[in-house]
Every structure is written in structure tokens, then in C-alpha cells.
Amino acid sequence: MSLVTRLATARRKPGRWHWTDVAAYAYLALGVVLMFGPVVWLALSSFKTQAGLLEFPPSLLPMSQKEVAVPGHPQPLPLFEVTMPDGTTRVLAQVRRIGIQAQMVDPANPAEVIRVPIDRRTPVRAFKLATENYTEPLDRFAFTRFLWNSVFVTVVATIITLIINSMAAYALSIYEFRGKNTVMLMVIGTLMIPITIILVPVYLVITELGLVNSLWAVILPGAATPTGVFLLRQYMLTLPRDLIEAARMDKASEWQIYWRIVMPLAMPALAVLAIFSVMWRWNEFLWPLAVLTKTESYTLQIGLNAFQGELQTQWHYLLAMTVVTLLPVALVFVFLQRFITTGIANTGMK
């Protein structure tokens, strides 16, 4: 019996239900619905048409109105179930609607035009996945370019963040110098400064460097993160000092100690920081919106904003591309989540 099965069938008293079992399972079921319900709704709604998203009452599954090809009409006509004056029901195709009257035809006998009040017709619906919500943005709106920009920014920024933060953490954990604790407090203190305060000064610096509308303008300003420095420093404090001193007695340089000894031993903490950096960079919106104004430089998050206009929002494209942006982060978290618990737990050890 697997661990999941044992946990799912666990009871306070074997073979009997206790009221605490019912309360626990009800609480867990509520938590699952609250956590994954919006995600399931997002995934299902991303396959709905624009009309399906705006219909009321809404449906959970992607349903769309059936259409049929009728001779004499160039486009397929929508099907409706119509209640006739004698109480019978017929499935008719609507040619056009004029006011409160609809002109409809029988697909088997399109020569006869039947006028029906619109309140006597019900759309014939069926389950259908609108896969064009995913294919059309990639072809028409250069979303492939946006995807590449986000991947480039995320990968390069994560690599730079790991190198810079690990160097700072190495100095603040291994070396002994006056004011080390003060420097660490100043690094942690920057967490209390919101990005909106430093947005204008950093933008002016990027402008002077000529990096506006460049992906490097998104990568470089956030390369050093106080969270990463603190996380790696706390982990490096647990490393045995005897190993560092032995390497120095063997005449290893500080770079060799850092690269060949400290970095491999700090791999769990580095994995945690890499996961956090991927999530930060992939979902970043405000700063890229400020420094990227050309379409070819947009990241995915900025590209999603293009579907929201002043008069109309293309919700079917917006939801579909939102699912695309969520998939990489979800996959990274699923495959590397074990590093989060082990790495964070080890950073608190002394």
C-alpha cells in the first residue's frame, strides 16, 4: 500500500469513523477546492470561446453552440431547439435575427423560412474545446517571441543572481571583519524598501546606460536580492570551518575554496534560491512594463496586457496565454519542491 493510500484511508480508530476523521477530511477537501478550484476553472475556461465566457449563467465545462452547414448559406448556421405553437419541439438553424423575431430554417428543408419568437428558442450546445485560443495568439500576436524573451530573462537572471548572491553570502559567512553584522542588517533592511520608491531612480540609471527596451534592463537591476543573500548566508554558516581552514592550509585560493568547496556543499540552498528566482523573474510585471515599450522586447506578462484594450478585452486569448505562462513555473515547482523544504530547513540549523 502506497503512502498516499495510507494517508487517504487513515482513521483515528482503525475500522471505525470518528467525528474528528470527518472534520479532518472535510477541512482538507475544502482546502483542495479553495487552492485548486480557481486553477481548474482557469484551465477549463481557457478552452471556451469569447461568447462562452460571457454567457450567463456560466458553465464550468467549455460548451459551444452547435452549427450546421445549410445549402444556400456560405457560413454554418447556429442550431436552436424551438418550441412550436402546437407544443412540439424542432431543431432549426437560425438564418438571422430581426428584433424579437428570428428567421429559421429546417436543415433538411432549407427552402421554407420559419419565423420564431426569440423567447421560444434554446441554443443546442455541445462540449467543444476551442484550441484556437492557444494556436492563434502564437501565430498572430508574436507570443512565441514573448515566450523566448521570458525564458531568456529568467535563465540569465537566475544564473547571475546565484553567482552574485553566493559571493556576497560567502563573504558575510566565511570572512571575519569589522562591521559584518551591520552590513548584513543593511542588506536585510532593503527588504522594507518597496520597488515603487526606487522605480524612478533605477529607471534614470537604466536610461543613462542606454538599456531601455533591452532585456538587460530587466535582468541587471534585480540581480542581487537581499532574500538570496540571507538564505545562502544562513546555509553557509552551517558549513564546517575546519574544511575551509584545511583548504587554506593546502594553499587553495579563496576562489578555489568558494567554487570547489562551498558552492557544491551549498547546492540545496542554491536550488531553493534558483526556484525562487525563476518564479520572481517569470512573473515580474511592473519593472518590465516601465522599461520595455517595443513589442519585440515584451515578456509574456507584458504581452498578456496587450489583450486588454480600452473598449474590449479578449478574454479567451488572455486566459489561454495565462495558462501558458503558469505551466513552466508549475513544472519547476513540482519537480524541485523537495529542495524547498530541505534547503529552508537546513538554513535554520546552527
pLDDT tens digit sequence for 166-189: 999 999 988 888 888 888 888 888
Q: What does the pLDDT read at residue 3? A: 61
Q: What does the pLDDT read at residue 290? A: 86
- DSSP assignment of 196-259, as one string? HHHHHHHHHHHHHTT-TTSTHHHHSTTSS-HHHHHHHHHHHTTS-HHHHHHHHHTT--HHHIII
Phi-psi region of 182 (alpha: psi -120 to 50; beta: other; left: phi over 0): alpha
Please report which confidence band the pLDDT of residue 345 belongs to, taking 50, 70 and 90 as the band edges: low
Mean pLDDT over residues 64-83, rounded?
82
Cβ neighbours, 10 Å, residue 117: 13
pLDDT at 344 over 70: no
Mean pLDDT over residues 203-208, rounded?
90
Which residues fall within 8 angstroms of residue 276, CB to CB, at 6 or more apart?
227, 228
Q: What does the pLDDT read at residue 161? A: 93
Q: What does the pLDDT read at residue 349? A: 44
Mean pLDDT over residues 130-158, rounded?
84
Q: Which three cell numbers stand for residue 301?
A: 506578462
